[in-house]
Amino acid sequence: MTPKQKKIKLIKKFIMMFIGSIIAAVGLEIFLVPNNIIDGGVVGLSIMASHLTGVSLSVFLVVLNLPFLYLGYVQIGKSFAISTLFAICSLSYWVHFFHPIPELTNDLFLAAIFGGVIIGVGVGLIIRYGGSLDGTEIVAIILDKRSGFSVGEIVMFMNLFILSSAGFVFGWDRAMYSLIAYFVAYKFIDMTIEGLEESKAVMIVSDYPNEIADALMARLGRGVTILHGEGGYTKDKKYVLYSVITRLEMAKLKAIVDEKDENAFVTFNDVHEVMGGQFKKKAIH
């Protein structure tokens, strides 16, 4: 990668995190905060602290994340810490900017659903481009190395504790709506990071590898790697074709394989990210 390409990639990274922070701020200030519904992690703690003290939410978003930023700098790296600091400061600014704007709905269920969706998309963009808004994830990464629990389990435990705390601050009905918002946001973070159109890794065991490979390259435009294997029971020589396709191309691939070798063994696996090679998502004609 040339220096110019690296610079463009870095600029794109911060632009996308900036956009993600705007989206997340809309979810917070237009839907959740006015209805006393919280998100998980440091954002949720900041919302409760702001409510109890009267100090601006934007201040707590920065102050409460500072210790976690230091841990991230020491334990994970400078690049991650800088990206996270940028994302947090950007979110803090936009939360302050949107604060005077009235909420769009007083319906708690709608606020939880739409707030969760919007925050999920915003946070997902930030995570996708190398930043974070939640210091609890940094703690989870560190604890994961020193305990028998996974990062996901640690984050879930901390967030359930934080969301439960909302019951003492805002009432138990708000705590339950906060739980809804959190799970909706969680799902949309995943969707934003992974993309709506997941890729599929396909492995085909066949006695006609060249015919299938030629058809896939000609009719789907996909590169194929042919691996040499051996049957575990028969010890016969086997050929395994490996390729990556989009979900929309699965039916067409099945038809091609069935046409060339109806006895072929085919498996599909989800692929959340593809780097290098000639793989590009495209529409089927």
- Torsions phi, psi for 194 (to 5 deg): -85, -25
Indicate if 169 and 49 belong to the same structural domain.
yes
Provide the domain limits for residue 246.
199-271
Q: Tokens for 20?
A: 């993600």
Which of 158, 175, 194 is a domain's end point? 194
> Residue 285: its pLDDT value, please?
38
> Residue 176: its pLDDT value, please?
93
Domain count, the chain: 2
Residue 229 lies in a domain: yes
Residue 21 lies in a domain: yes
Q: What is the pTM of this model?
A: 0.73
> Residue 26: its pLDDT value, please?
95
Mean pLDDT by 10 residues, the chain (285 residues): 84 93 95 91 91 93 89 80 91 93 90 94 87 76 66 74 88 91 86 71 92 90 87 82 84 89 89 64 43
Which of 155, 179, 194 is a domain's end point? 194
Assign residue 237 the CATH number of its domain.
3.30.70.120
> Residue 59: its pLDDT value, please?
94
Cα–Cα distance between 44 and 116 in angstroms, integer?
A: 13
- Torsions phi, psi for 271 (to 5 deg): -125, 120
Cβ contact 28:115 at 8 Å: yes
